[in-house]
């Protein structure tokens, strides 16, 4: 028993699952990890960063980039990011969307800021099913409850079932505690699915009918990580069905450029909501690392981000095929496992036969670790009613040969449990 009298937040804080997965890795050096969502190391843009560093160092005048910056983010970087976003979107409030671009220490920080200003313990957030497990763990840490957006057998948003859920929440009094709705809408972590406009519209119309005009958080972390063509759906920033809602849009340069720089960004349709988030950001760090932002400003201006995207889109397509192909060749599908071939992102989302428990403490997971392969149990990715038979595999960090080997090891274990 610790003598320290922790706060309620301190009491709720649990070691993140990712830490447990990393400990497993460190204890088993021969383990091939297709668990962590790390990005590809081989294609990290060393020479592009070098060029940006050189440009900054040669710049005349004070080295302001080594000084503190502004809380909301460097104006030029924000303008560049707004330009990129507004090339994809046509919001009716384009000026607000441009003005309200903010830069954070990864989009993870922005998600945390939003939750801190919107939710108290006991409040409820609607989340996609499955959803991003680090966000779900954050909500649990804040004492915030989740309800899943209902989906049909194909994983698509089920509008009628959402109406029923909201009506039930009204009856139980829970609807007044609903504070936000969150979804990962492009090449999602973990499912690799993208939401179509009809699905986003179905969520908006069910909430509108229920009178629940709560802030919507659209997490577009993987939007630009398509392999061959972008997903055509507009975001909540442009869809008329969402125009009455306060809208937050999140993205990041960690997946598209360099995760080590840890720069994320977003925008808000609502200046008041953004102002609250920035007040709290002031308490966190009063500004994202200015040097990293200055580097990215240079990189984008010099065309380095688009060049890097061209490299990694091709690399992730190859890597996806290395893992997917190994699973197919080793016979996983014939054991009753199913998955959809992704068109972007870093993940394969597998569904095992219903009776197989793939949880962290289950025999299957232990057998995989013994066989030298580590995955993320799908049960972590659900707000509630977590099915046990899903698995997220990441092809982000390992090379193609290791991915193929990991796929063979994984299927070898699946055969023993068939
Ligand atoms: C869906 C999603 N959102 C947000 C993040 C956070 O990314 P970062 O904080 O590195 O920008 C991640 C990282 O894996 C993610 O998968």
Q: Is 268 in the pocket of ligand 1 (CB under 6 A)?
A: no
Q: Is the pLDDT of residue 57 over 90?
A: yes
What is the pLDDT averaged over residues 186-193?
A: 97
Nearest atom of ligand 1 to the alpha carbon of 252:
11
CATH number of 49-301: 3.40.640.10
Is residue 189 within 6 Å of ligand 1 at its C-beta?
Answer: yes
Taking residues 247-275, what's their average pLDDT? 97
Domain with CATH 3.40.640.10 in the chain: 49-301
Decide if 347 contacts 394 (C-beta within 8 A). Answer: yes
For the beta sheet containing 347-351, the strands, ordered from the edge strand earlier in sequence to the opposite edge, are 347-351, 390-394, 376-377
pLDDT at 317: 98
**130 CB near ligand 1 (under 6 Å):** no
Residue (of 408, 384, 383) closest to 326 by Cα position: 408
- Encode pLDDT of 79-130 as tens digits: 999 999 999 999 999 999 999 999 999 999 999 999 999 999 999 999 999 9
Closest ligand 1 atom, residue 262 Cα: 10
Encode pLDDT of 285-313 as tens digits: 999 999 999 999 999 999 999 999 999 99
CB-ligand 1 contact for 185 (6 Å cutoff): no
Is a pLDDT exceeding 70 seen at residue 274?
yes
pLDDT at 278: 98
Ligand 1 atom at shortest distance from the alpha carbon of 37:
14
Task: State residue 383's pLDDT score.
Answer: 82
The pLDDT assigned to 6 comes to 94
Ligand 1 atom with least separation from CA of 108: 9
Of the pLDDT bands very low, low, confident and very high (cuts 50, 70, 90), residue 197 is: very high
108 lines ligand 1 (CB under 6 A): yes
Interior angle at CA 282, CA 280 and CA 284, nearest 5: 75
Could you identify the atom of ligand 1 that is nearest to the CA of residue 111? Answer: 4
CA–CA separation, 120 and 356 (whole Å): 36
**Which residue, by CA, sits nearest to atom 10 of ligand 1?**
106
Q: How far apart are CA 362 and CA 337, in angstroms?
A: 18
For the chain, how are helix, strand and coil distributed in percent, rounded to 5? 45, 15, 40
Q: What percent of the chain has pLDDT over 90?
A: 93
Which ligand 1 atom is nearest residue 263's CA?
11
- The tens digit of pLDDT for each residue in 120-175 reads 999 999 999 999 999 999 999 999 999 999 999 999 999 999 999 999 999 999 99
Task: State the pLDDT confidence band at 1, using cuts at 50, 70 and 90.
Answer: low
The answer to whether residue 222 scores a pLDDT higher than 80 is yes
Nearest residue (CA) to ligand 1, atom 2: 221
Whether 252 lines ligand 1, by a CB cut-off of 6 Å, is yes
Which residues of 12-115 form beta strands (DSSP E)?
32-33, 102-104
Tell me the best of 81, 254, 257 to mutate to test the pocket of ligand 1, counting ligand atoms within 8 Å of each CB and taking the most. 254
Residue 358's pLDDT is: 96
Average pLDDT for 369-398: 94
Per-residue pLDDT, 293: 98
Q: Which residues contact 391 (CB under 8 A, 6 or more apart)?
A: 349, 350, 352, 358, 375, 376, 377, 378
pLDDT class for 36, splitting at 50, 70, 90? confident
Domain with CATH 3.90.1150.10 in the chain: 8-44+307-416
379 lines ligand 1 (CB under 6 A): no
- CATH code given to domain 8-44+307-416: 3.90.1150.10
Tokens matching residue 7:
């706060």
Which pLDDT score, from 0 to 100, does residue 15 have?
83
Name the residue at shortest CA distance from atom 6 of ligand 1: 108
Q: How far is the CA of 108 from the centre of ligand 1 (A)?
A: 6
Ligand 1 touching residue 258 (CB < 6 A): no
345 lines ligand 1 (CB under 6 A): no
Cβ of residue 261 lying under 6 Å from some atom of ligand 1: no
> pLDDT tens for residues 14-29?
888 877 887 887 788 8
Helix H segments across 127-269? Answer: 133-142, 159-172, 197-209
Average pLDDT of the chain, as a whole number: 96
State how far the Cα of 157 lies from the Cα of 333, in Å rounded to an integer: 25
């Amino acid at each position: 028993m610790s003598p320290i009298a922790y706060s309620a937040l301190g009491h709720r804080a649990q070691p993140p699952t990712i830490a447990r997965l990393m400990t497993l890795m460190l204890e088993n050096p021969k383990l091939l990890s297709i668990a962590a969502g790390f990005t590809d190391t081989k294609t990290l843009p060393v020479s592009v960063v070098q060029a940006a560093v050189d440009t900054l160092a040669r710049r005349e005048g004070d080295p302001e980039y080594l000084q503190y910056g502004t809380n909301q983010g460097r104006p030029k970087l924000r303008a560049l990011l707004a330009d990129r976003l507004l090339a994809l979107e046509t919001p009716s409030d384009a000026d607000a969307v441009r003005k309200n671009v903010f830069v954070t220490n990864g989009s993870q920080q922005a998600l945390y800021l939003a939750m801190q200003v919107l939710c108290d313990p006991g409040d409820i957030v609607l989340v996609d099913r499955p959803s991003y497990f680090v966000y779900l763990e954050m909500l649990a840490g804040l004492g915030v409850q989740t309800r899943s957006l209902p989906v049909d057998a194909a994983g698509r948003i089920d509008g009628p079932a959402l109406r029923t859920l909201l009506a039930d929440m009204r009856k139980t009094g829970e609807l007044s505690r609903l504070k936000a709705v969150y979804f990962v809408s492009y090449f999602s972590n973990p499912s690799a699915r993208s939401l179509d406009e009809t699905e986003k519209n179905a969520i908006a119309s069910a909430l509108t009918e229920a009178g629940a005009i709560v802030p919507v958080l659209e997490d577009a972390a993987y939007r630009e990580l398509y392999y061959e063509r972008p997903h055509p759906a507009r975001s909540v920033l442009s869809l008329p069905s969402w125009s009455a809602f306060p809208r937050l849009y999140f993205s990041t340069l960690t997946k598209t450029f360099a995760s080590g720089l840890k720069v994320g960004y977003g925008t808000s349709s609502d200046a008041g909501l953004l102002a609250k988030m920035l007040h709290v950001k002031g308490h966190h760090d009063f500004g994202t690392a200015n040097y990293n932002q200055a580097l990215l400003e240079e990189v984008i201006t010099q065309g380095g981000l688009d060049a890097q995207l061209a490299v990694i889109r091709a690399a992730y397509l190859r890597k996806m095929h290395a893992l997917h192909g190994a699973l197919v060749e080793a016979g996983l599908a014939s054991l009753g496992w199913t998955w959809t071939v992704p068109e972007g992102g870093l993940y394969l989302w597998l569904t095992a036969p219903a009776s197989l428990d793939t949880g962290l403490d289950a025999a299957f997971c232990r057998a995989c670790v013994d066989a030298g392969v580590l995955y993320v149990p799908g049960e972590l990715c659900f707000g509630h009613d977590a099915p046990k038979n899903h698995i997220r595999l990441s092809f982000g960090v390992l090379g193609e040969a290791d991915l193929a080997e990991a796929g063979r090891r994984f299927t070898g274990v699946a055969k023993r449990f068939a």
